[in-house]
Structure 1
Amino acid sequence: MNHTSQPPSATCTSCATTQRLSLIIHNVRYLAHNRYFCTNCLLKNHHGLFCPICFQVYHDSPPPHHRLMCLRCPSIAHRSCALPFSTTTANAASVPVFLCPTCADHKFSYFNISAADRISRTVDDKSFKVLAAASRIAAVSMSKGAAAARFEAERRAVEAAVARKRAKEAMEELTSIQAKEEEENSCCVVDLNLDARLNVTEE
């Protein structure tokens, strides 16, 4: 029996989840390479770019007095979102201790949908926010990747132009040297012929 393999875009390169199970496989630029992540893996690999409670994607990191950072990873949450999930120490002036959902529970998944939702391809409000956050992060990463690729292409084009110019200058210099050598050799031949004629005349 022949089995047709799924295209790379249909499988998460991190957990091997298929598009049928996760609804969407995101194409994302990650560690200078194009990767395919399910929604859960994409968010777990981009802590710090979104609030893990309300799933707002950050354009800029919230100011220090408006954020709480996870004690174990780079995840950053809005202070107002994280306070109900944080703990305080005996010192009331101390910063609350916050663990993001994935650090608090290693089995936590950002995106869970039922079999019925997979069939109908519908999601609840929370899952929609999660999907939207992952899609925004993927879009931004691909835009940055495209910009980096354009910059690299332009840099290489400039380097190629400089190399061509140097090669042309080198060829022109070589041609000039060869012309001078030919001119000097021609003068030597003329001098030898003149000496020969003078010797014949004297005899």
Structure 2
Amino acid sequence: MLQQVEEQPSEGGSGRRCAVCTATRPFILHFLPFRARNLHLCTACVLDSYPGSFCPICFDVFLHSPPPPHLHLRCSKCISISHLSCVSDAASSSLSYLCPPCSNPNFTFFHVTPNPANNAIEINLHLAKQLVAAATIASESIHNVAVMARINADIRVQEALSAKAEAAQVLDRLKNLLDNQDH
């Protein structure tokens, strides 16, 4: 069991809050790029926001590519990808497969309920897999942003060095012109 730790409210006074579902004081917030901004999202919102990045049944994350086409099923309603081995035989033989979130309107990822007696949250294997999947997605997203920032920084450095060299050439030409004008 994990005890939920009370934290001090942030500078805005609102405390911990998911930027998508605005759940106040979620168990865990993941920091990742979302809609061109770096935001804190609860585990459920990370998983809801990246449906093609993991199998919604076993929660294996597809870091760089999904499983081969003959080993997965795509949801006919969203972009979710499920391992064929995770899907029941009845669902896999159906022409229009629906992933768990699309097949159940009341479905929610990472549904935790604290024990009323001590406010402790029990993390079972199913919830742990969801938590690890969301953390992996957040980590990979931040890593990708860092790689792109490094590439952009290298480009800007090259542009600055090129501009510096060009400015030095212009100053040398100007100096030569002034020297020739004095003679």
TM-score bin, normalised by smaller chain: 0.7 to 0.9
Structure 1 residues not aligned, in runs of 5+ = 90-95, 184-203
1:142 offset after TM fit, Å? 0.9
- The alpha-carbon distance between structure 1 residues 176 and 156, as it changes in their structure 2 partners (threshold 3 A), is same
Structure 2 residues not aligned, in runs of 5+ = 1-10
Which residue in the other structure is 1:165 paired with? 165
Runs of 4+ in 1 over 4 A off after TM superposition: none
Which residue in the other structure is 1:119 paired with? 119
Structure 1 Cα separation of the partners of residues 169 and 105 of structure 2: 63
1:32 offset after TM fit, Å? 3.9
Which residue in the other structure is 1:156 paired with? 156
* Structure label with greater radius of gyration: 1
Structure 2 Cα separation of the partners of residues 75 and 26 of structure 1: 21
Q: Deviations over 1:57-96 (max 9, x none)?
A: 123310111000010111100012123572645xxxxxx4
Q: Deviations over 1:91-141 (max 9, x none)?
A: xxxxx4211122223432111111218921331221111111101111111
Structure 1 Cα separation of the partners of residues 108 and 86 of structure 2: 18
- The alpha-carbon distance between structure 1 residues 49 and 160, as it changes in their structure 2 partners (threshold 3 A), is same
TM norm structure 1: 0.76
What is the 5 A alignment of 1:3-152? 5-6=13-14, 10-18=16-24, 20=25, 22-59=26-63, 60-84=65-89, 86=91, 88=93, 96-116=95-115, 119-152=119-152
Structure 2 Cα separation of the partners of residues 83 and 55 of structure 1: 16
- Indicate conservation of the 8 Å contact 1:49/1:57, yes or no: yes
Q: Counterpart of 2:53 in 1: which secondary structure?
A: coil
Two-structure CA RMSD over aligned residues (Å) = 2.2
Structure 2 Cα separation of the partners of residues 85 and 176 of structure 1: 84
- Indicate conservation of the 8 Å contact 1:30/1:141, yes or no: no
Letter in 2 for 1:182: D
Structure 1 Cα separation of the partners of residues 41 and 112 of structure 2: 16
Q: Which moved more, 1:161-170 or 1:108-117?
A: 108-117
Identity %: 32
